[in-house]
Amino acid sequence: MKLPTDIGKDCARAWDAMPWSLQNSATRDQDEWLNQHLAQCEACRSEFELQSRLRLAISLPQDVPVDVDAGLRRLLARIDAPDTRAARQRSRTSWVTRALVAAVLVQAIGIGVLGARLWSEASQADYRTLSQASAPLPTGAMHVVPDDTMKLADWDTLLHTFRLQVIGGPNEVGAYTVVASDGSTSSRDTLQKLRTTHGIRLAEPVANTP
Amino acid sequence: MTEADIDADATDRMLLQRMSAGDRAALAVLYRSYHGRLCRFLSRLTRRSDVIEEVINDCLWITWQKAGTFHGDSRVSTWIIGIAYRCGLKALRQHGDEPVDDDALSEDRFPAHCPDEDRELRDWLAKGLSRLSADQRVVIELVYGLGHTLDDVAVIMQCPVGTVKARLFHARVKLRNTLPALAGDPPIRKESMP
């Protein structure tokens, strides 16, 4: 017999009808038509015999021994027993849920901390607007204007001698802002000495605006 | 569906209804009623009796628990076999696929009363089925063994009817190629197969 893909429509129809006829689920008309076709088509008859044998073989009782009574007893025992499997499953699910919740909380806290840090950094901008007050200078700060001819080495020596350090400047008029390098408040004496030092054009205390 | 099928389905529905109310006697009746069918169906997936029993009990356990939720969209048997199919696939994933093979037909597997003719027929079938994939074996069992329609098989295997048709077609072609030769008939010409 050829396959129904390359034969006449009748054989293809017979091929399709065989399982249902063997199942006794085909209509009477289908059965009659199939019987008529089988009577005149040897190939389909041979196929139908094969299909009948297949159905007969499949209908044999199964050959893997499984005790129905023992199985039923085990199922009933499983129903009677506390649902340990389900409880284990629930417990496992519960632990998984808790772990997930903990992970989410940790992430939320982490995101919160990072967010707060970023926010605080963002609030301290790298620039200052004209409406913002300038940062107050430390107490004891002075504006010092060295002479144009003063050498850098002399300026360094002077700062070292008076224990001063530059914290700003020079501004548009050439004034440096200096404070005591040890953190102490520069004394009036230091100011006087600076004023009398050769090469210093101006030394004035900084007056912070309230 | 025949009159007998309709009656059987009505009985199954009544049993499910009783089971949903906690009636264990109804469960026992349903268990015994389906045990043979499920055994044979599952034996197309695995030859291990312990796995078959485990799958049957898993299937009937689910049936017991979900009895009240059965809406009657299909026959009860279609619903239960569908559960068994899914439990069987799950068990195969856990225990490994053990397709029907020649070794499975050793002497001690047959019942003592098994006539020689039956044994020969089983041997012939097992060798033919061993050439099929698990899904093709399942389709053959569902159609030729359990007598399900293509629509039922599609519901059981949760796939389109076209897929079931294709599986059945290819399974039949493979069996046509192998079964006559196994029965001692002249082999079918291979070149005529797709």
* CATH for A189: 3.30.70
Last residue of a domain, one of B59, B83, B98: B98
Does the CB of A78 have a partner CB in chain B at under 8 Å?
yes
Same domain, B87 and B116: no
Cα–chain center distance at A51: 58
Concatenated DSSP letters of B98-118: ----GGGG-GGGS-TT--HHH
Whether A52 is covered by a domain: the verdict is yes
Q: How far is A108 from chain B (nearest CA, A)?
A: 38
Q: How many domains does chain A have?
A: 3
Summarised one tens digit per residue, pLDDT across range A66-112 is 889 999 999 999 988 866 566 666 666 778 888 999 999 999 999 99
Whether A30 is covered by a domain: the verdict is yes
Domain carrying residue A93? 65-103
Same domain, B160 and B83: no
Interchain proximity A57–B121, CB inside 8 Å: yes
Summarised one tens digit per residue, pLDDT across range A183-206 is 776 677 888 888 888 888 888 888
Q: How far apart are CA B94 and CA B25, in angstroms?
A: 31
Q: How far apart are CA B48 and CA A48, in angstroms?
A: 32
Q: How far is B75 from chain A (nearest CA, A)?
A: 15
Interchain proximity B144–A54, CB inside 8 Å: yes
Last residue of a domain, one of B35, B70, B98: B98
Which of A16-30, A122-136, B34-48 has the weakest average pLDDT?
A122-136
Q: How many domains does chain B have?
A: 2
CATH number assigned to the domain comprising residue B28: 1.10.1740.10
Same domain, A38 and A84: no
Q: What is the pLDDT of residue B102?
A: 41
Same domain, A54 and A70: no
Same domain, B44 and B116: no
Same domain, B22 and B113: no
Q: What is the pLDDT of residue B194?
A: 35
pLDDT digits (tens), chain B, 194 positions: 677 778 888 999 999 999 999 999 999 999 999 999 999 899 888 888 889 999 999 999 999 999 999 888 889 999 999 999 999 999 988 876 554 444 444 444 445 455 666 788 888 888 888 889 989 999 999 999 888 989 999 999 999 999 999 999 999 999 888 877 666 555 444 434 33
Same domain, B116 and B187: yes
Domain carrying residue B68? 1-98
Interchain proximity B192–A61, CB inside 8 Å: no
Same domain, B79 and B135: no
Same domain, B5 and B39: yes
- B144: nearest CB among A3, A6, A22: A22
Interchain proximity B111–A63, CB inside 8 Å: yes
State the ipTM, two decimals.
0.78
Same domain, B184 and B153: yes
CATH number assigned to the domain comprising residue B112: 1.10.10.10
Same domain, B31 and B69: yes
Same domain, B166 and B90: no
3-state SS assignment for residue A180: strand
